[in-house]
Structure 1
Amino acid sequence: MSRRASRPLAADRITNPAPEAYSYVELDAAAQRGNAVLAEECALAIAYNGISHAVMMVSPSALEDFVVGFSLSGALVESVDEIYDIQLSRRGEAFSAEVQIGNRAFWALKQQRRSLAGTSGCGLCGVEAIEQALPQLTTLTPSPLPPAAHLHELRARINDAQRLARQSGALHAALYVDEHGEIVLCREDIGRHNALDKLIGALRREGRDSRRGFAVVTSRCSLELIHKAVRAGLSTLVSLSAPTDLCVRWARQHHLNLIHLPHHSAPRAYSPCNNAE
């Protein structure tokens, strides 16, 4: 973070009330009643230097991480140093993020100005041109695959790390495993893209070298997640669901290590691969 944003942000001081438990009735002969904590969802409006840019449906946790990650992975800023300040405010069920960015980033943002409205299930909404859906990305420097031991029983360890999902379910997670094989960061959200943005933001805000370990996503691996990983400079992305063919081609082209972690089989490295072109 830049000198002006290295101090605690106003966003850090916003707290959320404990999740509410909702009553239900089981639809069987016993008709048992119970209570369950459900996943939270809220609208977050993001403005850069006073100009509204996007409204996203997110989970109301680690919002400052999300704003930083969203800005970086969407190529709205080139580095965290271009984010000078984040001011979060809340009105009822909605949040607003006022983000101050540097002149270069703001000029570039105005040049590519477009209407963008996001939802939890949408990764490329608002994209109006093929060039934006299939952007030019800087190719990464190749990195070795993580040791196989760091993937051992990873699914079980992820379940233990997902604190919010244990309460309510319905949440995706993005996690960071460090060079020692330990899960050191976990960010959760109703949106799989949001979860990865939160993780990217947390990595930058904590000053971690993301290429020393690897990121994990619990959701389907789609092309927009590859875009975010490459833009964030991650060396390796591990997905609990199988990637699409386009994901594999882009990962190989941009030297992003891409690993699928099946339920009952050994981890599968699709990129790099011995027969990769």
Structure 2
Amino acid sequence: MTDPVRIVERIAWRGGRLAPGERAIPEEAAIAFTYNGSSYAVMMATPQDLEDFAVGFSITEGIVASPHAIEQLEVIEQDIGIELRMRLTEPHASAFHERRRYLAGPTGCGLCGIESLDEAMRAPASIADNVMFAPQDIMRALAALESQQVLNAQTRAVHGAAFYTPSQGLVAVREDVGRHNALDKLAGALVRRGVSGAEGFAVVTSRLSVEMIQKAAALGIPMLVAVSAPTALAARTAQAAGMTLVAVARHDGFEIFTHPQRIKEERTLHVVAG
């Protein structure tokens, strides 16, 4: 498999002078998704965790509802890119052929195989309101994600997506040059392990656009945390889905944009001596 990191020579100008050296940079490859012999999308992505990518993308894009609908998955490496070759069970195979398209998407494309505005603006799944988190959970998740972004530590050029539960901490972390790709890979990792999205929340190191909300909602994730601000449409979509949207999450705190009832501040009981 192609190495996700490449060491290249470069010349740096610092301190008023030029000096030769090396830099680790992330690899980027064309990744083709094919179902039952038909092409669906070509994405530019980091060539690692590709099984997770295939399963997560298939679920978050609505091609299948469960990994069990994919009866076969092959990762075929070619000179010009990598093919994620999947075979779907019925009736999913027939349903796919009704909507098949050929599409070449840019890095991190989030609206793949979309044929209409109705599909692009599809209503997200409704999120159950039966879980609570503390502010400290969010801060711990942010700190843990930063320390576990191995590829970004080497390159400073990739996005990360992680899933956190209060009882287990970070359950999974995935990285990619595309923010949607990182979230898709995380989705695949969770469903392949049988982890329910309702058990915790997701953290991403990118901005939040509407398709990020739609992808998280497809897994039933009740809260999405991001280091950057959301778009207005993302906030409206999260509100309608019942998802708690936390953004501008940094070392000094965060901002809650929708459904704040899931976050309960821990209060210390002060006893005054008589």
TM-score where L is the length of structure 2: 0.88
Question: Contact 2:5 / 2:151 at 8 angstroms: preserved in 1?
Answer: no
Quick check: 1:235 aligned with 2:222?
A: yes
Higher share of residues assigned strand: 2
Of 182, 204, 210, which aligns to 1:223?
Answer: 210
Structure 1 counterpart of 2:12, one-letter code: E
Specify the SS of the correspondent of 1:123.
Answer: coil
1:26 corresponds in structure 2 to 12
- Superimposed CA distance per residue, residues 47-83 of structure 1 (whole angstroms, 9 cap, x where no aligned partner): 1011111111110010000000000000000111111
- Superimposed CA distance per residue, residues 150-194 of structure 1 (whole angstroms, 9 cap, x where no aligned partner): 122543322211000111121001001123261121100000000
Question: Mean Cα displacement is larger for which, 18-27 or 39-48?
Answer: 18-27
Change in 2 beyond 3 A, CA 1:31/1:141? same
1:3 corresponds in structure 2 to none
- Counterpart Cα distance in 2 of 1:113 and 1:16: 28
- Counterpart Cα distance in 2 of 1:210 and 1:125: 23
- Counterpart Cα distance in 2 of 1:178 and 1:264: 19
Structure 1 counterpart of 2:9, one-letter code: S
Q: How many residues align?
A: 260
Quick check: 1:244 aligned with 2:226?
A: no
2:269 corresponds in structure 1 to none
Change in 2 beyond 3 A, CA 1:168/1:222? same
- Counterpart Cα distance in 2 of 1:71 and 1:96: 14
Q: Structure 1 vs Structure 2: percent identity of aligned residues?
A: 34
Question: Mean Cα displacement is larger for which, 180-189 or 64-73?
Answer: 180-189
1:259 corresponds in structure 2 to 246
2:266 corresponds in structure 1 to none
Deviation for aligned residue 1:86: 0.5
Question: Contact 2:59 / 2:218 at 8 angstroms: preserved in 1?
Answer: yes
Question: Mean Cα displacement is larger for which, 91-100 or 59-68?
Answer: 91-100
1:96 corresponds in structure 2 to 83
Structure 1 counterpart of 2:190, one-letter code: L
- Higher gyration radius (CA): 2
Question: Mean Cα displacement is larger for which, 47-56 or 25-34?
Answer: 25-34
Structure 2 counterpart of 1:177, one-letter code: Y
- Counterpart Cα distance in 2 of 1:17 and 1:53: 25
Question: Mean Cα displacement is larger for which, 78-87 or 130-139?
Answer: 130-139
Structure 2 counterpart of 1:159, one-letter code: E
1:78 corresponds in structure 2 to 65
- Counterpart Cα distance in 2 of 1:129 and 1:64: 28
Quick check: 1:127 aligned with 2:114?
A: yes
Deviation for aligned residue 1:125: 5.3
Question: Contact 1:259 / 1:267 at 8 angstroms: preserved in 2?
Answer: yes
TM-score where L is the length of structure 1: 0.87
Question: Contact 1:145 / 1:257 at 8 angstroms: preserved in 2?
Answer: no
Deviation for aligned residue 1:251: 0.8
Specify the SS of the correspondent of 1:146.
Answer: coil
Specify the SS of the correspondent of 1:27.
Answer: strand
- Counterpart Cα distance in 2 of 1:176 and 1:121: 19
